[in-house]
Amino acid sequence: MADPLLTGQQAMPRLEQEHPGLYLGSLRTLQRRMGEWRVTHAEQVVGQQMGAIRDQENSQLNSKKSLQTRRQLDG
């Protein structure tokens, strides 16, 4: 959930580092499980990403409004 764009190939070294020897030869299984997870959680992940984009846009808009207000007061 923390990194929904992570691929199985990227995740495998992390898993092997955290749990040595446990995931040997399981890349394809991991890729299938991650695909299933994405299908199941797609709406939630997209919602979170859209929320982050919306927050960023609001922050930028507020910064612009604040700058315009300062210019008007200085002006």
* Mean pLDDT over the full length of the chain: 82
Better-scored residue on pLDDT, 41 or 35: 35
> Is 49 domain-assigned?
yes
> Residue 75: what pLDDT?
62
> Is 23 domain-assigned?
yes
> How much is the CA Rg of the chain, to the nearest whole Å?
21
Better-scored residue on pLDDT, 47 or 39: 39
> In the chain, how many domains are there?
1
Mean pLDDT for 60-71 is: 76
Structure tokens at 17: 């580092």
Cβ proximity of 37 and 1 under 8 Å: no
Domain housing 44: 8-74
